[in-house]
Amino acid sequence: MSLLSLNFWRKNWEASSIPDLTGRVAIVTGGNTGLGFVTVRELARKGAHVYMLCRQESRALAAIEKIKSELGQGSDLKVDYINFDLQSLKSAKKAAKDFMERETRLDILINNAGIMATPYELSPDGIEVQACNGTGHFALTVPLLPLLKQTAAMPDSHVRIVNVTSAGYRWARGPDFSTLENLNQESWSTWGRYGLSKLSNILFTNELQQRLIESGTTNIFCTSVHPGGVSTELMRGPLQSWPILSPLVVVAKMMLLSPDQGALTQLYAATAPEVEEKDLKAALLFPIAQLTPKNDLAEDKERKLGMQFWDLCENLVNEKA
């Protein structure tokens, strides 16, 4: 067990606590590695039909074969791949369309894919790449809402939308989502841009939950989760920004949670009956599965930032996808 995990470990909730998911259908973005891989594996272990959404087909298919091997379930395992590029609004929208052409229900959506602390760069859509943590998942999620609502209306439904954020959302300063130019400000630091993207994940969760309630759908539970400091491929971003940090990676990995530990909070948010029992709508969860207060920006009581971000994403999708 890593040193950091000793501070976070919650003894009474583990992957074995996940209820039977037979008949449920799930989407996990970025599911071919790290937290996403563990999340796909554990949902599939409990009987869910899981769709792994990621960019590279070869890596996705290799990950699916690895899951089958680890679980020893061979061809009986229900895990499929759909192409999804977080940095492309068109790709995100098409992934939603491809999924809806295959399935008639969606019980669990886990927006797990992420980009962290990369050097300043614009996506092909002209969006700062870390900001795609928010815009890409918006473009995927919104087209899926009718199917999520349809599933929520079925008997014994337990529909969840989980957006993976980070404690780094607290690094966001002076957020302004009114225009793409403001979103793309190069003057913000690498970590500041990351914090802004992770703040947008929480704001999207808040606004999405409120809009669902206002539309009369009260039994879909949206949560934001911080997995903790986890040893995953996200470390590539900081190393691109600061190559001098390379010798510290080995030491850092000793201090970080393993992907198996880091995935627990999003698995809890996606499956635990307690989420509904405690009415954890728009909740922010820190590891492991702990309800955590938001700062004032993330609370966004007047919904100014949330609506601003929603409107910006809507305009970007209409323009570019």
What average pLDDT does this structure show over 234-248?
A: 47
* 29-40: pLDDT as tens digits: 999 999 999 999
For the chain, first and last CA: distance in Å? 44
299: confidence class by pLDDT, cuts 50, 70, 90: very high
* 103-112: pLDDT as tens digits: 999 999 999 9
Residues contacting residue 126 through CB under 8 Å, at least 6 positions apart = 180, 184, 320
89 inside domain:
yes
In whole angstroms, what is the distance from residue 69 CA to residue 80 CA? 15
Placement of tokens 């473009």 in the chain: 139
Residue 218 sits in a domain whose CATH number is: 3.40.50.720
101 inside domain:
yes
- Report, as residue numbers or ranges, the catalytic residues: 194
Please report which residue ranges of the chain form alpha helices under DSSP H.
Answer: 5-8, 34-45, 57-71, 89-102, 132-152, 180-183, 190-214, 236-241, 249-255, 259-262, 264-271, 274-277, 296-299, 304-320
Cis peptide bond upstream of 288, omega within 30:
yes
253 inside domain:
no
What SS3 state is found at 25?
A: strand
195 inside domain:
yes
Domain count, the chain: 1
In whole angstroms, what is the distance from residue 75 CA to residue 65 CA? 10
Placement of tokens 């890409």 in the chain: 136
258 inside domain:
no
What does the pLDDT read at residue 229? 78
In whole angstroms, what is the distance from residue 245 CA to residue 256 CA? 16
In whole angstroms, what is the distance from residue 209 CA to residue 204 CA? 8
Domain containing 187 equals 15-228+265-320
193 inside domain:
yes
292 inside domain:
yes
243 inside domain:
no
What does the pLDDT read at residue 73? 65
What does the pLDDT read at residue 237? 43
What does the pLDDT read at residue 7? 40
Is the pLDDT confidence value at 141 over 60? yes
